[in-house]
Structure 1
Amino acid sequence: MSGFERRGRWNIPKRLTTFALFGGGVVDMRYADFTSPDVEIRSYSICGGQTILVPPEVNVDVHGVGVMGAFQQKVAGQGTPGAPCVHVRGFSLWGRVNVKRKKRKHRTDTPQPDRDE
């Protein structure tokens, strides 16, 4: 009955398990560092939802089962040859697991001068 988020700069382990029970979760890999060329994510949702965000260059392989819910099987777009591969496996009961490609946001690290008008 709560949620989880993993965002920003973090090290993605070779194996990761996520679980949502009457809640939601987000695993955002866009700014993370891959510690292995192959990453396995075991994702389980019961009456909850999860979203896994991957950057455009990462290869994705998804196999899961949705019972009275959804476990997304296809991810739009192709990864780059030689880029890390994320294998998503799992189960969803009255819930959902979505895997999406999403571009990184451009950040401006230099402060902008104030403009008097």
Structure 2
Amino acid sequence: MSRVCDRDRDRAVDLVQQAYADGRLSSTELELRLERALTATFADELRPIVADLPDGTVRLWSVGGNLTRTGHWSVPRRLRVESEYGRVRLDLSRAHIPHPRLDIELCLTYGHATIILPPRAGANTDGVHAAWGRVTCKTPARPRPGGLDVHVTGDLPYGRLTIRASRK
């Protein structure tokens, strides 16, 4: 059995809180699930707490083409981006982002991703594994007060990732 890490516990708490906000859970169910999530010791204890809840992940994928999101687009709480050979450009500078934290999971085999952050945002790339790839983050790891908190994870065997602030 593996022990629960803070990231997994935080994700379970976020899912439970979002389900309550969406009207899927009563206040009693919210309290019960939060208590179980916050006191869980092993990963297996978290699974039943969130098994019946949608995780809100949106998947974007391409084999050789480009994936581009710019302008005024609605950003989900979680993005999973998969690209084997293409380029990915996620411009968050004018996007509608209704939550304070955004989780982006990247799977870039040979591709290149550029993520452009809005003012005051920060990006944590500690969860990115780049074997022969490269990660360049030109923003602080933590957001300034009121800024978006972006957490990037994933695998870049030969891919590249660049994160920068908006030039506007």
For normalisation by structure 1, the TM-score amounts to 0.79
Q: Which residue type is aligned with residue 81 of structure 1?
A: P
Alpha-carbon offset, residue 80 of structure 1: 2.1
Higher strand share: 1
Equivalent residues in 2 for 1:78-117 (5 A)?
Answer: 79-104=143-168
| Whole-Å separation in 1 of the counterparts to 2:101 and 2:154 | 17
Q: In the TM superposition, what whole-angstrom CA distance separates every residue of 1:38-77 from its partner, at most 9, and x where no partner exists?
A: 11010111011111110231122112111111133x4335
Partner of residue 62 from structure 1, selected from 100, 103, 125: 125
| Whole-Å separation in 2 of the counterparts to 1:17 and 1:34 | 16
Higher alpha-carbon deviation: 95-104 or 2-11:
95-104
| Whole-Å separation in 1 of the counterparts to 2:139 and 2:104 | 18
2:78 counterpart of 1:15: yes
Task: Say whether the 8 Å CA contact 2:123–2:139 is kept in structure 1.
Answer: no
For normalisation by structure 2, the TM-score amounts to 0.57
Higher helix share: 2
- Runs of 4+ off more than 4 Å: none
2:44 counterpart of 1:44: no
Structure of higher RCO (CA pairs closer than 8 Å, 6+ residues apart):
1
Task: Say whether the 8 Å CA contact 2:139–2:163 is kept in structure 1.
Answer: no
Question: Any stretches of 5+ residues in structure 1 without a counterpart?
Answer: 105-117
| Whole-Å separation in 2 of the counterparts to 1:51 and 1:8 | 15
Question: Any stretches of 5+ residues in structure 2 without a counterpart?
Answer: 1-63
